[in-house]
Amino acid sequence: MSQDEKQELLELYKDLRVADVRDGMDWNMMHHYGTIHHEIRPLFRTRAVGIAQTSRYVPYQHEIPKLTPDEYTDWVKWYYANITSNPGMKASEPGDFIVVDQSGVDVGILGSNNSLAYYAQGAVGFITNGGVRDTDELIMQKVPVWSKFISQKMNQGRIQFEANDVPVNIGGVVIQPGDVIVADGDGVIAVPRKIAKEVAQYAHQELKADKAGRRRIYESMGRELDASVI
């Protein structure tokens, strides 16, 4: 996808809540698509809107050699260079949402180091159907991550890289590279790129109606208006 096309989609979705996007999908008769299972949760309350960049990992199926700690240090280097690699191996671009299918393996494939490196390149958010680690630092660094669980474990001997830019199953939803991902405290929703404009149109219709309705209630309460009703 060209950067122009990406920016156009991001602009359309930047103010929409997950709930609005859900409504926009319903208005396009997509009731049974898009909503990622509610067990995939944000590490802390935040929101992110981006374009899916996908990668898939599968369980490591081979023997782990018996090594001394020093030999193990070298083996881990070899492992990270050859068997696993950071999610979305190629450089991420501004607006990318890093989407990782780790086949449910109990490892913290995303940590405070690799996710910060992608964040520095412009990635806006991260989602995995597995684990995340270094969570205290991730919260402190304000890197937006949605995951199924927290895991203490490193990749080596447990998981191997399979492919980038492939369809992946995240929480029961097939995410294709290039889909629009919207995530907030309500969870995550994926919008197929080919209907993204139509979905945004009706999501905005619902957001507008909701703002007007809540604004009337604010006014009747004498409550100070905030950005959510203006």
Known binding residues for Mg(2+): 134
Binding residue count for ligand OAA, defined by CB under 6 A: 9
Using CB under 5 A, which of the segments 63-71, 90-98, 131-139, 211-219 binds Mg ion? 131-139
Q: In whole angstroms, give the CA distance from residue 69 to residue 187.
A: 41
Q: Does 152 bind Mg ion (CB under 5 A)?
A: no
Q: Where are the beta strands (DSSP E) in the chain?
A: 41-42, 48-59, 96-101, 108-110, 125-128, 131-132, 145-147, 149-150, 159-164, 168-170, 173-175, 180-184, 187-191
113 is a contact residue toward Mg ion (CB under 5 A): yes
| 3-class secondary-structure state, position 188 | strand
Based on CB atoms, which residue is closest to ligand OAA, 10 or 154?
154
Alpha helical stretches, state H, 98-195:
114-121, 135-141
The residue (of 140 and 225) whose beta carbon lies closer to Mg ion is: 140
Based on C-alpha coordinates, what's the Rg of the chain? 19
> Considering beta carbons, is residue 28 or 155 the nearer one to ligand OAA?
155
Nearest to 53 by CA among 124, 135, 112: 124
Restricting to residues 138-157, name those near ligand OAA by CB under 6 A.
154-155
In SS3 terms, 21-62 reads as HHHHHHHCCCCCCCECCCCCEECCCCCEEEEEEEEEEEECCC
Site string for ligand OAA, 89-108 (x = CB under 6 A): -------------------x
- Least separation in angstroms between residue 155's CB and ligand OAA is 5
Numbered residues of the known binding site for substrate: 133
- What is the footprint of ligand OAA within residues 151-190 (CB under 6 A)? 154-155
- List the x/- string, 116-135, binding to ligand OAA by CB under 6 A: -----------------xx-
| Positions in the binding site for Mg ion (CB under 5 A) | 111, 113, 134
